[in-house]
Amino acid sequence: MSVDFLHPGEGAAIDTNVPALEMRGIGKRFPGVVALDNVDFTLEPGKIHALMGENGAGKSTLIKIMAGVYGKDAGTIRMRGREVDIKSPRDSLKEGIKVVFQEIALISEFTVAENIFLEGYPTGRTGSIDWKKIRADSAALFNRIGFNVDPAARTGSLPVSQQQMVEIARALAHEARVVVMDEPTSSLTPNEVSLLFTVIRRLAALGIAVVYVSHKLDEVFEIADTVTVLRDGRHISTRPIGEHTNDTLIQDMIGRRIDNLFPRQRGAAGSKVALSVEKLSTAKKLIDVSFEARAGEVLGFFGLMGAGRTELAKAIVGYDPIISGTIAVDGQRLAPHDTRTGVRLGIGLLTEDRKSEGLMGELPVYQNASLASLGAFARLGFVDKAKEHQAVQDYVDRFRIKTPSLFQQIKNLSGGNQQKVLISRWLMRGLKVIVVDEPTRGIDVGAKSEIFALIDRLAGEGLAVVMMTSEMPELLGLADRIAVMCEGRLTAIMSREDATQEKILNAAIG
Amino acid sequence: MSLASTASAKDQPSMLARLFARQELALLVCLILVLAFFSITVENFFSVRNMTNVLGQASLALTAGIGCAIVFISGEVDISIGSLLATIALPLIIIMNDTNSLLLGVGGALLFGLIIGVVNGYLVAYAGINSLIVTLGTMFIMRGGVYLYTGQRAIPDDASLDSFIALSDGRLFNIVPYSAVIAIALLVAFGYMMQHRPFGRQIYAVGGNQEVARLAGYDVRRVKFICFIISALLATVAGIILAARVGSAQHTAGLNFEFQVVAATVLGGVSLAGGIGSLTGMALGVLILQFLSNGLRGLGLPTEWQLVITGMIIIAAVAFDEAKRRRANGG
């Protein structure tokens, strides 16, 4: 009990016999979907509790009910034995429930320090904000956690990984009884992940109940004491981690066994060059990058954070400007360098940032899918709706996209299904090269293998797939050839047969 | 970790760029340039008399601009303020004529302003109607109401209370017009609120990202509701000063005033998208436009040209701002 983050002693009187949080019989429905059905979830103080489940299993709904983002339709919530009524995020925060959402929830115009104290500014006697204390306390907080973030920086100017650290730090700035982390490691480096784990263990040692939501099995085995699995909105199991193996956990999550996460159906790649990039440089990052991608192959790009994968992806589809070099799709040069030309030549990007660069969240599924190919459905300048809907329906069937209807707003779909709609958008347009950037970010195991199968199929249909990834298994499981980047340069290209983890990492370090 | 820290060190902009990154400083330089230009070209421009006169003229826009900027920062707009200026003059003048009391008149005007603020705020924050539409609607309704009530004739201030007239031509220490003193005091108070009171920061947070603000436990609707009330009350104060200046309640009072204020606010770097800008910036925007207009008149340029030039300046300023932001984001 000697270490605390900012409020030593406040967590001291925690009775370990009474659950920190007890949710009983929680039910929640959305139009057309039962999101949660009679779910029980109990958190012991001082324990790290992993919450797992596939896409649409109900994890985020459960967390959002805890956070007061959604109201529940049925069930009770008790905090330390006392029934509470959580109707808004404010109620939840007051109970000491701190949720670190996967989507960055910070005000980008504010400084890091101000964001840390967003939910309650320390004030002086007159009720004015004590900025000195905010600066000092946030610096002290980062110091104690061991995160290297400048409290005076404008939050929006920081890379995503640092913003994520700010979010985590923020959860600890006020008294907390329950800390929920939703996929906290999705953009952290291995170093940062181990720091985060140290922090989480310290939180638990202070008697705080920690909920850890993740798709990464190895992380869960490393950090969790207990695992609860949800499937299709129902509670499947709650067991100590010691009783689980990789297989039993996956089985609980998907209700069947996945024998092969990377089912390869496609044949060998052809020899026809679909994309050739020569001496490409950008103002921001890339230096002299040259490579070719062939029709029917998956070319995987690996690199550590900041290596320039996303920059490369955006440059070769014409989205970001370049300062020198050439890009050619099927021998035709990408000039002028813009996405309009890119799409015309047949190269498209499946972005890593679905929410802000891929989806039009408020619009229905069918409009999201048909966006790039409206011309094909047009007659005399008007879109033929019947034709458009039919085409989208074909893809929904083909890719087994789970949606109540074509008219559902796409923001209501799960990550995996959103990704499938975005892939449909490009396939409908008839692409020759598809660039996929972190295709499985924020997508869970079962749906991951579907996305892998989809990528396999794209290559099988003769597309050149350029895949940017930071996940080694994904890279080794899917790619025909592997390219490695380091600080804006291409440091190695090797065939899958020649590649080892060691070789790849060496090239990534430079 | 090391990657991240080198990146942030590399992104440090140059001294000059950082100086100009402070919106207010760039605006201050513009204001000084405007003052310098007209001091050279226009006789008596740079005199205490002219300076304080312009300040007095600017006080209306400064006062109402505080509310306009606050509503902008919360992510909404309020264009009903011009009509409000004319509307609140009715209770003000009528009550003063009846009771010979400035206090009751001002109280009546403020109450009226409060009601308009509550209506605007309720419709935007709680009924969820777009603020441009709501305030466009109340703008028309109020203007129409004033036309109907007055029969398009001015209602003169028969009470002619000394204290009321002092609002128009009284000067503190015989130098600074009282209207400017009021505007500056309000600016300081609300400027302090926006930067140093939790509520002010909540307004920035709500305008910066509504969803994030909600997750941080803020009552987003309440914040917006209060912003509209603040805006209406400040426009009421401006309306009282205007009524004192013209000595009557007039149906045309404050016509197009909202657009002058919006123009100055935008010039001052307050973003229509919310979450960005400061009252200092707004005030500098008002002063630049006011001195420009005064100076151009001194040069003998007709009002029509002032409009054209003002329009060009606003677009140029926002374009400059946009270019700067794009460079800052590295795109």
**3-class secondary-structure state, position A43:** strand
Residue B67 to residue B61: CA distance in whole angstroms: 10
- Residue A387: exposure state from Cβ atoms within 10 A (0-12, 13-18, ≥19): middle
Q: Which two tokens stand for residue B48?
A: 């205490």
To the nearest 10°, the Cα dihedral for A361, A362, A368, A374?
-140
- Residue numbers of A between 100 and 129 with CB closer than 8 Å to B: 101, 105-110, 114, 118-121, 123, 127-129
Min Cα distance A112 → chain B (Å) is 13
Q: How far apart are the C-alpha atoms of A19 and A42, rounded to whole Å? A: 7
Q: Which residues have CB under 8 Å from B188's CB, separation 6+? A: none
The residue of B18, B194, B196, B218 whose CB has the most chain A CBs within 10 angstroms, and thus the best one to mutate to test that interface, is B196
Residue indicated by tokens 């905090």: A79
**Quick one: pLDDT band at residue A114, thresholds 50, 70, 90?**
very high
Q: What is the pLDDT of residue B45?
A: 84
Show residues of chain A in contact with B13, CB under 8 Å: none
What is the DSSP secondary structure assignment for residue A404, as one 8-state letter? S
Angle between helices B279-298 and B257-267 (to 10 degrees): 110
Q: Which helix (H) or strand (E) holds B26?
A: helix B23-41
Shortest distance between the Cα of B164 and any Cα of chain A, in A, equals: 34
Kindly state whether A339 is in contact with chain B, defined as any CB-CB distance less than 8 angstroms. no
Distance from CA of B248 to the nearest CA of A (A): 41
Q: Helix, strand, or coil here: A239?
A: strand
* Sign of the alpha-carbon dihedral angle for A472, A474, A480, A481: negative
CATH of domain A273-509: 3.40.50.300
Interface of B with A in 159-218 (CB under 8 A): 192, 196-198, 201, 204-205, 208-209, 211-218
Q: What is the dihedral of CA B143, B147, B153, B159, to 10 degrees?
A: -60
Distance CA A418, CA A411 (A): 8
Q: Do A107 and B204 touch (CB under 8 A)?
A: yes
- Contact in structure between B116 and B172 (CB atoms under 8 Å): no
The reported pLDDT for the residue numbered A59 is 87
Tell me the shortest Cα–Cα distance from B55 to chain A, in angstroms.
Answer: 30
Q: A192 — contact with chain B (CB < 8 Å)?
A: yes
Q: Within the 309-338 window of chain A, which residues sit less than 8 Å (CB to CB) from chain B?
A: 320
Q: What is the pLDDT along chain B (331 residues), one digit of tens a residue?
A: 333 333 333 334 455 555 555 778 888 988 999 998 988 888 888 888 888 888 988 999 999 999 999 999 999 999 999 999 999 999 999 998 899 888 999 999 999 999 999 999 999 999 989 999 999 999 999 999 999 998 888 888 888 888 888 888 888 888 889 999 999 999 999 999 999 999 999 999 999 888 889 888 899 999 999 999 999 999 999 999 999 988 888 888 888 899 889 989 988 889 888 888 899 999 999 999 999 888 888 888 888 888 888 888 888 878 877 777 676 554 3
AA letter at A14: I
CB pairs under 8 A between A and B: 87
A69 touches B213 (CB < 8 A):
no
Cα torsion at A341, A342, A343, A345 (round to 10°)? 80
Mention every residue, 6+ apart, whose C-beta is less than 8 A from residue B9.
none
Q: What is the CATH number of domain A21-254?
A: 3.40.50.300
User: Considering only CB atoms, which chain A residues are within 8 Å of B7?
Assistant: 159, 306
Among residues A480, A470, A483, the alpha carbon closest in space to that of A186 is found at: A470
Contact A105 B211 (CB under 8 A): yes
Cα angle A503, A504, A508 (rounded to 5 degrees) comes to 120
Question: By percentage, how much of chain A surpasses pLDDT 70?
Answer: 93
Helices A445-460 and A246-254: angle between axes, nearest 10 degrees:
80
CB A371 within 8 Å of CB A365: no
The widest CA-to-CA distance across chain B, in whole angstroms, is: 75
To the nearest whole angstrom, how far is the Cα of A121 from the nearest Cα of chain B? 6
**DSSP of A172-197:** TTS--SEEEEESTTTT--HHHHHHHH
Q: Nearest chain B Cα to A305, which residue?
A: B3
| Disruptive mutation site among B190, B215, B278 for chain A (greatest number of A CBs within 10 Å) | B215
Across the interface, whether the CB atoms of B211 and A107 are under 8 A apart is answered no
Per CB-CB distance under 8 Å, the chain B contacts of A311 are: none
pLDDT at A9 over 70: no
Lowest mean pLDDT among A26-35, A110-119, A171-180: A26-35
Q: Which residue of A has its CA nearest to B275?
A: A109
CA distance A101 to A116: 14
Give the whole-angstrom CA distance, residue A209 versus residue A412: 29
Position A379, amino acid: R
Cβ pair B23, B277 in contact under 8 A: yes
Give how far the C-alpha of residue A213 lies from the chain's centroid of Cα atoms, to the nearest Å: 12
Please report the DSSP string for A266-325 in residue order.
-----S-EEEEEEEEE-SSS--SEEEEEETT-EEEEEE-TTSSHHHHHHHHTTSS--SEE
The percent of residues above 70 in pLDDT, for chain B, comes to 92
**Burial profile B232-244: b = 16 or more Cβ within 10 angstroms, e = fewer:** bbbbbbbbbbbbb
- Choose, out of A128, A165, A309, the residue to mutate when testing the contact with B (most B CBs < 10 Å): A128
B12 touches chain A (CB under 8 A): no
Taking residue A495's Cβ as centre, other Cβ atoms within 10 Å add up to: 10
* Upstream peptide bond of A336 is cis (omega within 30 degrees of 0): yes
- The reported pLDDT for the residue numbered B3 is 34
- Residues A286-318: tens digit of each pLDDT: 889 999 999 989 999 998 777 888 889 989 988
Longest dimension (CA), chain A: 74
Task: Report yes or no: B304 at the A interface, CB cutoff 8 Å.
Answer: no
For residue range A493-503, list pLDDT tens digits in order.
Answer: 998 888 887 78
pLDDT of residue B144: 93
CB A467 within 8 A of CB A291: no
* Radius of gyration of the CA atoms of chain B, in A: 21
Token pair 């374009």 is found at B319
Per domain, the residue ranges of chain A are: 21-254, 273-509
What was the pLDDT predicted at B199? 92
| Angstrom distance (rounded) from CA B90 to CA A286 | 66
Mapping DSSP onto H, E and C, the string for chain B reads CHHHHHHHHHCCCCHHHHHHHCHHHHHHHHHHHHHHHHHHHCCCCCCHHHHHHHHHHHHHHHHHHHHHHHHHHCCCCCCCHHHHHHHHHHHHHHHHHHHCCHHHHHHHHHHHHHHHHHHHHHHHHHCCCCHHHHHHHHHHHHHHHHHHHHCCCCEECCCCCHHHHHHHHCEECCCEEHHHHHHHHHHHHHHHHHHHCHHHHHHHHHHHCHHHHHHCCCCHHHHHHHHHHHHHHHHHHHHHHHHHHHCEECCCCCCCHHHHHHHHHHHCCCCCCCCCCCHHHHHHHHHHHHHHHHHHHHCCCCHHHHHHHHHHHHHHHHHHHHHHHHHHCCC
- Of the candidates B196, B275, B331, the beta carbon closest to that of A128 is on B196
Neighbouring C-beta atoms of residue A102, cutoff 10 Å: 19
pLDDT single digits (tens) A259-291? 566 777 777 777 888 999 999 998 878 889 999
Contact between residue A293 and residue A269 where contact means Cβ atoms under 8 Å apart: no
A21-254 and A273-509 have identical folds: yes
Tell whether A305 is within 8 A of chain B (Cβ). Answer: yes
Tell me, yes or no, if A148 comes closer than 8 A to chain B by beta carbon: yes
Taking only the tens place, the pLDDT of each residue in A319-333 is 888 888 989 998 888
- Give the closest of B5, B201, B217 to A93, CB-based: B217
Interface ipTM? 0.80
N-term to C-term CA, chain B = 24
Q: Which of A462, A8, A116, A465 is nearest to B205 (CA)?
A: A116
Angle between helices B279-298 and B178-196 (to 10 degrees): 150
CA distance A476 to B92: 78
Contact B215 A161 (CB under 8 A): no
Q: Does A131 touch chain B (CB under 8 A)?
A: yes
Structure tokens at A16: 């370990």
Closest residue on chain B to A121 (Cα): B198
Considering CB atoms only, which of A105, A148, A161 is closest to B215? Answer: A105
Distances, alpha carbon A406 to alpha carbons A236, A284, A370, A374, in Å: 30, 40, 11, 16
Q: Are B286 and B69 in contact (CB under 8 A)?
A: no
Q: How far apart are CA A385 and CA A378, in angstroms?
A: 9
Query: What confidence score (pLDDT) does residue B107 get?
Result: 95
A158 touches chain B (CB under 8 A): yes
Within 10 Å of residue B112's Cβ, how many Cβ atoms? Answer: 22
Per-residue pLDDT band for A444 (boundaries 50, 70, 90) equals low
Between chains, do B197 and A109 touch, taking CB under 8 Å as contact? no
Cα–Cα distance measured from residue B41 to residue B298, given in angstroms and rounded to the nearest whole number: 9
Q: Residue A229 phi/psi, 5° resolution? A: -115, 130
- CA angle at A425 for the pair A424 and A426, rounded to the nearest 5°: 90
Beta-carbon contacts of B16 under 8 Å, excluding residues fewer than 6 positions away, are none
